[in-house]
Structure 1
């Protein structure tokens, strides 16, 4: 084995770790929603209109397990639960900006290709 292969394997492992945290249809939209401020469950669901309550609950738990978000219970009547990004979740802002910028570029390219054909 050479050093290039070791570097490649290490980078692939890191990429898999990253994708494990953000994979799927819903995690990035949830993170993007919380990137705009702390929110209650219903507020997140209003942002992401096509997610079921069960799926939102599962994904919030997964993001909390991975320390991307935090869940805060407020002692009120009724009990209020609020979700927010942790410092680790906030550290994804640059990544989110890059993904969104690439998405804008991708949509533009696809639309231009569709129009040209």
Structure 2
């Protein structure tokens, strides 16, 4: 029977968590993913929906999410040109994570406010 080493197992999980946190670093990426898990959106729609994000930050985070294959960027043949973003099948695997974070955040907020 194979013995498990709790310290090694914990270190393995911590390393995996660090990878995820590096990928989703910053204030806005999880919000962008959560929006795109609901529906595909144009750049301007994302900018309006995610209160407080600047255009520069949205552009940077969208590029990083695209590089990491979590979203796709599609340029539509319209005048003026429209750019639409959509969650990938791979990116959609984060939908449960965004729901858990959202639920926890709502519960935490309620707990702190209702002390």
Common topology (TM > 0.5): yes
- Distance in 2 separating the partners of 1:91 and 1:24: 19
Match of residue 58, structure 1, among 39, 42, 60: 60
2:78 corresponding residue in structure 1: 76
In angstroms, what is the RMSD of aligned CA positions?
1.3
Deviation string 1:15-56 (CA, Å, 9 cap, x unpaired) is: 001111212111111112212200110000010131111111
The runs of 5 or more residues in structure 2 that have no matched partner are none
Deviation string 1:53-102 (CA, Å, 9 cap, x unpaired) is: 11110010111111111111123333221101011111111111111111
2:7 corresponding residue in structure 1: 5
Q: Is 1:43 the counterpart of 2:45 in the alignment?
A: yes
Cα deviation for residue 12 of structure 1 reads 0.7
Greater mean alpha carbon deviation, residues 52-61 or residues 3-12: 3-12
- Counterpart secondary structure, 1:50: coil
1:29 corresponding residue in structure 2: 31
- Distance in 2 separating the partners of 1:23 and 1:4: 27
The count of residues paired between Structure 1 and Structure 2 equals 112
The runs of 5 or more residues in structure 1 that have no matched partner are none
Report the TM-score, using the length of structure 2 for normalisation: 0.90
